[in-house]
Chain A
Amino acid sequence: MLGSGILKGLGVTAKNFAGSYHDPARMVTQEYPDTPVKLPEAYRNFPFLVTENATDPMGTLRCVACQICEKECPPQCIYIEKSKDKKPDATGKPQLYPAVFAIDTAVCMSCQLCVEVCPFDAIKMDQIFEVAATNRFAGLLLNREQLAKPNSYFHQLHPTDAAEVDGRLGAERKAAEEKARAAAAAKAAAPKPAAPAVTPAPKPAAGGPTP
């Protein structure tokens, strides 16, 4: 009959009204400045640099200044200067590190391509959105001290992603360690037959991967 739809609709809104007072699950409003906002795990805006150790962020950056992200970045907002010297990374291997690593967040378009191309899992997407600055040039240009954030922070933001990265890196490191151990064992097992050839032998081995 005419009007039954109206009554049904009035019932729905009446239920909403009553429910809004006793059923918090219905309410969609987050009172943001009063209560911290709950972001979905996949939310991203600007990149940050992952460090292994929170106490020594500059010493344990995963970034090796390979500059792939700098070249890939569509709006060209990343600027990297390679270091002149090498520092040991998490596995103890000497690596270059970024002497300067800057991201202009005024230019960044949050495309995540830098994260996709990074072979070292050194750059990940952050969830900071309260980025207002009083100076639009220096204020929005983040340097590597501001960008560096510990791995534990990454775990907080994207737990699934971070667990996967940690598992992969751990396996790689273990494999590298085992390889090194095996190589050391092989070296220890067969030192006598090629005793004089020991010194030249590592050289081709070290130069091997280069070409």
Chain B
Amino acid sequence: MSIMPPEPSPGLDLETAPLLVRDWIVHRFPDALQWFVHHLLSITVILTVFGLFFAFTTIAERKLLARLQNRLGPNRSGLPWFRSLKLWGLTQPFADAIKAITKEDVVPAAADKVLHFLAPVVIVAFSLLGFAVLPFGRHLIPVELDAAILYFFAAGTATELAIFMAGWGSRNKYSLLSAMRALAQLISYELPLILSVVPVILVTGTLSTRDIALAQGGWTWGVLPHWHVFTPWGFAGFLIFLVAALAESNRSPFDLPEAESELIAGHLTEYSGFKYALFFMAEYFGLTALSGLGVTLFLGGWQAPFAILEIIPSYLWFMGKLAGMIVFFIWIRGTLLRLRIDQLTRLSWKFLVPLALLNLGNAAFWALTPGWTGPLALARWAVSAAIVIVPFVLLGRRLTAGYAPRTYRYAA
């Protein structure tokens, strides 16, 4: 949503419609206020769209998890005055929101009142900042920064501060210990997350999310999109990014900070009511923002997979891919078991970090050999794939040596 002149494109009307609406509203205001209204509109749209996206992610998550386990999931909440309308339980998030707002907000007597209050505010604020630099469509990018990726990770990492604020401000030893555990996890996975992103920056030569999305346009032989995930280094980077993103957003199987079946609530033990809901919201915002970044960096951003499908507006492609990522994360949550803290850190330091570093070299090789065409292109692919697969197999063997395959002495 920058002040970029809309270029003509195939899906002209739908593609530029949001911009036209925005400009129409902005021009209702005096000149001095226009920049302010412009940004206020972007913020409002992001808060509304991703607020609703969050609400429906929660119900989609509960429904999908249920289906993955042969259950029905929530299907009873309808509308207050139309009892016969069941709506497949889709109004559940609003009922949950009302419940969270009306619950009592308990603050421990010994808590640091300021920090205890600030932590949920700070975490939501910082987890929302990431959305500012995501290119949602061909012309839709709230803030166009040259160093967008740097900004994204700086803002995203600040949520770790809020987690420690929550643990410290609660004045509860369990909260504090869990917050430290959470930090250990988040800092361990910050490294593979960023190292998985660096190859993209290396190959595209830019930190701007808009340019990275643009660089993935076009097709090889008119079929294979130039998305980074369809290159050996991009595929490996995407996988590392997925694992690290799961851990960064406290999702199962890395949901140790708030392991609901083992701990009370980790660093959220002393939070109740809407403050707890804010942490929950921030977790989903963080996941959505990271998924959005993953889509932008590896899955072609707002680019359509086939040239014919470009008639569908680019922002719908982006939201579709984003929803696909979220569904995949839910699928993972419905499948995998929670790791132990030592397994978690071992996976990061002994497996993901070395692989990500090698992948960086892989991307450097790829960036140095764009001239290899014809039969040499095959060699380029083979070398690049070997740099991914061989260390994966070897490191995987070392990582699981002595641990897998597991033998069960008592269970059949």
**Residues of chain B lying within 8 A (CB to CB) of residue A26:** 70
Interface: B346 (CB within 8 A): no
Flag if B336 contacts A2 (CB, 8 Å): no
**Chain A 45-77: CB-based contact to B (< 8 A → 1; otherwise 0):** 000000000000000000000000000000000
Interface: A10 (CB within 8 A): yes
Flag if A9 contacts B71 (CB, 8 Å): no
- Given the known interface contacts A2-B392, A3-B396, A17-B67, the answer about A31 and B72 at a Cβ–Cβ threshold of 8 Å is yes
* Contact with A27, one of B64, B71, B396, B399 (Cβ below 8 angstroms): B71
Q: How far is the CA of A7 from the CA of B390 in the complex (A)?
A: 19
**Residues of chain A lying within 8 A (CB to CB) of residue B393:** 1-2
- Given the known interface contacts A27-B70, A27-B71, the answer about A10 and B335 at a Cβ–Cβ threshold of 8 Å is yes
**Chain B 71-82: CB-based contact to A (< 8 A → 1; otherwise 0):** 110000000000
Interface: A138 (CB within 8 A): no
* Contact with A2, one of B67, B68, B70, B400 (Cβ below 8 angstroms): B400
Interface: A19 (CB within 8 A): yes
Give the A-B contact count at a CB cut-off of 8 A: 45
Main secondary structure of the interface of A (DSSP, over half): helix
Closest to B400 in A: A2
Interface: A42 (CB within 8 A): no
* Contact with A9, one of B67, B72, B336, B400 (Cβ below 8 angstroms): B336
Flag if A9 contacts B335 (CB, 8 Å): yes
**Residues of chain B lying within 8 A (CB to CB) of residue A6:** 335-336
Interface: B69 (CB within 8 A): yes
Interface: A28 (CB within 8 A): yes
Interface centre among A9, A20, A27, A28 (most CB of B within 10 A): A20
Flag if A29 contacts B71 (CB, 8 Å): yes
Q: How far is the CA of A29 from the CA of B331 in the complex (A)?
A: 21
Flag if B335 contacts A12 (CB, 8 Å): yes
Interface: B273 (CB within 8 A): no
Flag if A13 contacts B71 (CB, 8 Å): no
Q: How far is the CA of A14 from the CA of B70 in the complex (A)?
A: 10
**Nearest CB on A from B56, distance (A):** 18
Docked complex: A1-42 residues within 8 A CB-CB of B: 1-3, 6, 9-10, 12-14, 16-17, 19-21, 26-29, 31
Interface: B334 (CB within 8 A): yes
Q: How far is the CA of A3 from the CA of B400 in the complex (A)?
A: 11
Q: How far is the CA of A6 from the CA of B253 in the complex (A)?
A: 11
Flag if A29 contacts B334 (CB, 8 Å): no
Known contacts A16-B68, A28-B71, then 18 further A-B pairs from the complex at CB < 8 Å, ordered by chain A residue: A1-B396, A2-B400, A6-B335, A10-B335, A13-B68, A13-B331, A14-B331, A16-B69, A16-B70, A17-B64, A19-B70, A20-B70, A20-B71, A21-B67, A27-B70, A27-B72, A29-B71, A31-B72
7 closest A-B pairs by beta carbon, nearest first, are: A2-B396, A13-B68, A26-B70, A9-B335, A13-B335, A20-B67, A29-B72
